[in-house]
Structure 1
């Protein structure tokens, strides 16, 4: 009895919470002009709890089933009359009331914490009607498809993959490879959503910084082409330099999520390089204002083709790195240097994948720094091919400053132990 009282109180609270949102939305309706308000929803939750308690006391689940069906019939009948009068075809109120009754029952016979969380989520979803409807009006089919693909990748494909290494060296774990692929896709998608939220028509700077979340190399090529058409190269070089900053921050975020212990080795060097890129970028931008519409960002947060290529490349690099790292970490560092030239995410994630067995934190930290360095040099190479000297020369100076500051910080400042577990995920033997 003592435990039943707070459970019934929770059932009532869930109904009142949902009823508060429903009643506020229809607050202008005269009394008696609507089927349910704050009181009715509150009573519905309490009724669900009472019926569930009776079912437990009588050891008769049929009581709960009959109560739910009876409540559904009565509420739906009244709601149907209201819909005919108002010419409203929305069924949200009925579904909300049935959910309140069910959550009230769950509060008594199930997990009360799950019931409380679900009731809060229900009220939040109901209150977000305008936001969600506005989002549906603004979202494109490509963006919706990308979100669905990401959901399928995470909820369906990931659990089906084997969670053990299937190669002799312990480098190719399909589930871990796909997890890192999903992580990269999610970061790209979130960056794309940020671009959509803040707009992309503020010139090359905003476009470059936002586009670097997806691909700093692509942004650099676009800016180099703009400089080649006669635009002022200094601010474009500044935008490309700050895009390199964003790319480095993105990689640092991946390291912090997957293996935060590596930041104890490489964190200060990366921070120094970020500072160098940022200062040089600001200096270049101060020489002249950016004009024009800027670069065009990718229309899709991630394409299936490049994403599949990323997964294959990541699997190959992980396997090769593991094979070369048997008995020595120099092979992993060499692989990171080569791969980082054209895809820093693959290089860094492949190195992080080997943390613990066989690679040490120190070796993985070296591999991450090498991958960032070669990626910066690769980005500079495409800038030199696609743009004029006045564009890539300032970018080369900024790259040299960032690399020099990063090396100085790595060589002169002490490494430290990062608090917490050494890695989120390591190899399995």
Structure 2
């Protein structure tokens, strides 16, 4: 990068600013330490960023990276020696400050010879990570092994699976793309995990509200089944029906989130029907739960963000439905593919939603795809209600049925109102 004097001054100033930003956090954290008792603070980190920027500028002037490398090794040696003396004196085994100093030097150099925007964003990220020590450590202390294992599994699924799978259709109809199917599977698992953690951060109370919300983030059908079975004992039946309504609401919110991420053109056609339905389910669930007593020890149906076995079944089912939909579309037209996607909602609304959204790339209109998404959501709600009636008492499934019927009505009214508005 060739810089004039004004441009060089800006980049050098940015390198200094990165060091000062990180140094602000380090200096504040050690503000009570006696003068001269710490290796690095506000001034030292500012000078470190400046040193990295100047070293990068000198390396450009001399036409090679040898100067920058020499400065980096010299800085690492001097800083490491002083940090070692401090660690021995304090009995401290933390290497965070040393790594942060090396990162500041590197980011100072990047601000001059690399992309200064990435350097600035990375500097802010380093400062934010350092400032989040208490929150992050507290968060880790509250995580269970099952949740940690799920996070590791999700990372492996993302980094290993997506790097190995071919990103092209391997069937004659163009419906089975291994990379795309696995990507959508990982995306669904990520939404479930992120939502699960968000609910966990609200606290450790095992009540009906948390059970319904967290359960809906993982599987609304499994949540309704679990609550219906639990309601068979005759206790907290109305409250459990309210929790089931919240789970159904979250299921619709998941459908809208997937549509927003993967089929934004379909979203305006879906929102008028699904948003009122979700609102009605939420309001009825809140009414049913208004007098709920927290059930301590209640095993919420979402005790695990996701399991690998069911996730593989999800991917297999999704691949099967996608391939069948593409084959039906090739042989009999798009209407048959849409029908197959809607039918998939009887078993899994996420599969039906993703399959319906993919049909837009195979010639299906946005309106037809939106209709398939809404129909699949309705069919899935009907399947949940049937399971609730089979497994739970009438006091459980009748309120849930009333909530489902009201949601159907609100969704239909919203859809018709939107169609009338669109025709005007």
Q: Determine which of 372, 378, 382 is the counterpart of 2:387.
A: 382
1:264–1:415 CA contact under 8 A, matched in 2: no
> Match for residue 355 of structure 1?
360
399-408 or 185-194: bigger deviation:
399-408
Residue of structure 1 equivalent to 2:95:
91
The Cα shift of 1:197 comes to: 1.0
Deviation at 1:219, TM superposition (A): 1.5
TM-score (norm 1): 0.91
On the 8 A contact 1:222/1:295 being kept in 2, the answer is no
Q: Show the counterpart of 1:39.
A: 43
The counterpart of 1:208, out of the listed 199, 207, 212, is 212
* Counterparts in 2 of 1:316 and 1:37: CA distance versus 1, 3 Å: same
The answer to whether the 8 A contact 2:206-2:299 is kept is: no
> Residues 276-314 of structure 1: CA distance to partner in whole angstroms, max 9, x if unpaired?
32344344445x534634452332211110011111110
- Residue in 1 that maps onto 2:122: 118
Task: Describe the shift of the 1:153–1:415 C-alpha distance in structure 2 as closer, same or farther (beyond 3 A).
Answer: farther
User: Structure 1 residues 108, 271: closer, same or farther in 2, change over 3 A?
Assistant: closer
| Kept in 1: contact 2:256–2:270 (CA 8 A) | no
Q: Which residue of 1 aligns with 2:401?
A: 396
Alpha carbons of 1:342 and 1:112: their partners in 2 closer, same or farther (altered >3 Å)? same
Mapping for residues 215-294 of structure 1, pairs under 5 Å = 215-285=219-289, 289-290=292-293, 292-293=295-296, 294=298
What SS does the corresponding residue of 2:266 show, helix, strand or coil? helix
Matches within 5 A, 1:22-61: 22-61=26-65
Alignment of 1:49-88 (within 5 A): 49-88=53-92
Counterpart for residue 137 of structure 1? 141
Distance 1:362 1:79, change over 3 A: same
Kept in 2: contact 1:236–1:290 (CA 8 A): no
**Residues 134/405 of structure 1: CA separation in 2 closer, same or farther (3 Å cut):** closer
* 2:342 and 2:372 in contact (8 A); partners too: yes
Shift of the 343–48 alpha-carbon distance from structure 1 to 2, 3 Å rule, reads: same
The change in CA–CA distance for 1:75 and 1:262 in structure 2 (over 3 A counts) is same
Q: CA RMSD in A?
A: 2.0
SS at match of 1:321: helix
Structure 1 stretches of 5 or more lacking a match?
A: 418-429
Unaligned runs of 5+ in 2: none
C-alpha separation in 1, matches of 2:161 and 2:7: 42
Matched, 1:101 2:112: no
8 Å Cα contact 1:171-1:321 kept in structure 2: yes
List, as ranges, runs of 4+ consecutive aligned residues in structure 1 with deviation greater than 4 Å.
none
The alignment's TM-score, normalised by the length of structure 2, stands at 0.92
